[in-house]
Each structure stands twice: as structure tokens, then as C-alpha cells.
Amino acid sequence: VEKYLHHLNSSISNSLEGLTVVVDGANGSASLVGPEALRRAGAQVISIHCEPNGLNINENCGSTHMDDLFAAVVKHGADLGIAHDGDADRCLAVDADGNFVDGDQILAILASGRKTRGALVGNTVVATVMSNLGFNIAMKELEIEVIAAAVGDRYVLEEMRTGGFTIGGEQSGHVVLSEFATTGDGVLTALHLMSEMKATGKSMAELAAIVNRLPQVLINVPNVDKSSVSKSAVSEAVAKLEQELGSTGRILLRPSGTEPLIRVMVEAATADQAQKVAKELAEVVATHCALS
């Protein structure tokens, strides 16, 4: 544990002194090292759900149940909150007002900081096809290239290795910083996120504003033939609806890898528009891709 903590803390060059953070360890593997790494870096740390008993991992806590963290950050007047999952490969955040900060925003913050310092290898970040369009728009404005991998941190890592890139991640909070780890490490991510706060002097909310998240709607269409997603009726519907959305929206159809199910994902300028388009397309998929 000592070697691991030393490795984590040696990966950032500035102190986190002056920052107060609430850490939710999900009663999992980050329960000890998550708070301790941030304390050693100089932060004032308040821990919640860091008492694992072998049965309570992820139980109404951590990155999948963040209500307690939202409340604790506001209650303690903390600068931010950090949420891990049970195996600590994810990191999501909360700003001082209790607002959610997702993996796309964290990835954008880290990539932007590296670009500013001239440390963004290939001027490229690896994300996934499920990353919010707002992320891609933000990166384009910063002239950072985005490579969209298939969903899953293993695919993100493959793209990073292929191109020699050093940062990648997912909306879910899996972030890979390959200079320091060969897989997602939520504690490492938390350190680097807070390091950016100190380096810039900006609050979590100010940093997170780099990404204007577009409303996203996901509808699972069950009992379908996944291979029929390429049918002309579906393709024509997608083309028509994409034209309606214009440059402020997008459509993604993703067949499930394990079930007879197609996921219809739509992002749009407004939540109502995203819901309308997703519902219309889901009906087309259900009609034309139904199992016979």
C-alpha cells in the first residue's frame, strides 16, 4: 500500500493544500487509499462510505448512488466531492454546490490542462462513441483531436496504445492516464483532477463548465434482430432525423453484445427534442427489426 500511495502522490507536482474534499469510497477498495492519497497531497479530507465489511460494497453509495455525496459536500462546505466505485477504477465528481460532474467533463478538464502545458501527446484524447456531443464540441473548440473508441475501457486503452496517446476515458468515470497506470484508476484520476483545480485556481464548477452537456436520451428496444439494424427503413429514418437535429445533435444505434436488444441513443439541443427523436426512432427499430 505504501508503494502504491507513493506512486500515486509522485504523479502530481503541486500540493492540494487549501482544498477540502468529501470522498465516497463506495465501501470498496478505495476506502483506505482514496482519502489517504488526497490527505498526503495536502487536502483536507472528509470520508463517507469508507467502512467496508465485505458485504456493503456499492450499497447505496459510491459512483452509482451519489445522493449522500451531493448532500455531504454542501453540508461541509467542501470544494468538491469525489465518488469511486467498488473496485476504484472510476472517479466521478461533485462541485461545491452539489452538482454532478461526469466522466466526459473530467476527461475534458484533464486533456485541456495537458494541452495548456504542452503535455498532451499527439494533441489527442481517446473517448468513446457514447461520449456526449458537448464533449466533442468542447474539444474541437480547444483544437484537441478526439478518437472515439467502442464502449469499454479496454477499447479505450487499445486505441491509446495504438496511437501512443496518454489520456482516454469514458462518460462513466473510467479515465486512463497511461503515463502512470495501465488501466483506469479512480484515485489517480481524483488526484489529477484536484491538481488541475490548484494549478488553475478555478473551482470545480468553473472547470466543469468546459463541457456543455447536451440532453441525452437512451431507449432500449428489446426482442429485435440486431443484424437488421442496417435495414434501409432504419437507415432512412436515421438520416431524416439527423437532418432535423443538425449540428447540435446526434444519433447512435448500438446493438447489445449479449441480448436481442438495440440501444437507441439521441442527443439534442433540448431534452424535449431528444426524447421526441429517440421515441420516433425506437418505434421504427421495433417495427422493422422485430424478431420473426
- Helix (H/G/I), strand (E/B), else coil: 186: helix
Grid cell listed for 177 = 492516464
Check residue 228 and give its pLDDT: 82
Give the count of alpha carbons within 13 A of 78, CB side only: 26
Paired with 148 in beta bridges are: 127
Domains in the chain and their CATH numbers?
Answer: 2-100 (3.40.120.10), 103-208 (3.40.120.10), 216-288 (3.30.310.50)
- Helix (H/G/I), strand (E/B), else coil: 63: helix
Grid cell listed for 163 = 496511437
Check residue 3 and give its pLDDT: 98
- H or E segment to which residue 176 belongs: strand 175-177
Check residue 37 and give its pLDDT: 98
From first to last of its 292 residues, the chain has per-residue pLDDT tens of: 999 999 999 999 999 999 999 999 999 999 999 999 999 999 999 999 999 999 999 999 999 999 999 999 999 999 999 999 999 999 999 999 999 999 999 999 999 999 999 999 999 999 999 999 999 999 999 999 999 999 988 999 999 999 999 999 999 999 999 999 999 999 999 999 999 999 999 999 999 999 999 999 999 999 998 888 888 899 999 999 999 999 999 999 999 888 889 999 999 999 999 999 999 999 999 999 988 7
Give the count of alpha carbons within 13 A of 266, CB side only: 28
Query: At which residue does the C-alpha cell 496504445 appear?
Result: 161
Check residue 226 and give its pLDDT: 83
Grid cell listed for 103 = 466522466
C-alpha–C-alpha distance, residues 134 and 116, integer Å: 20
Check residue 227 and give its pLDDT: 84
Q: Are the C-beta atoms of 262 and 285 separated by less than 8 Å?
A: yes
Q: Residues 94, 98, 102, 106: is their CA dihedral positive or negative?
A: negative
Pairing of strands 80-84, 91-95: antiparallel
Check residue 292 and give its pLDDT: 73
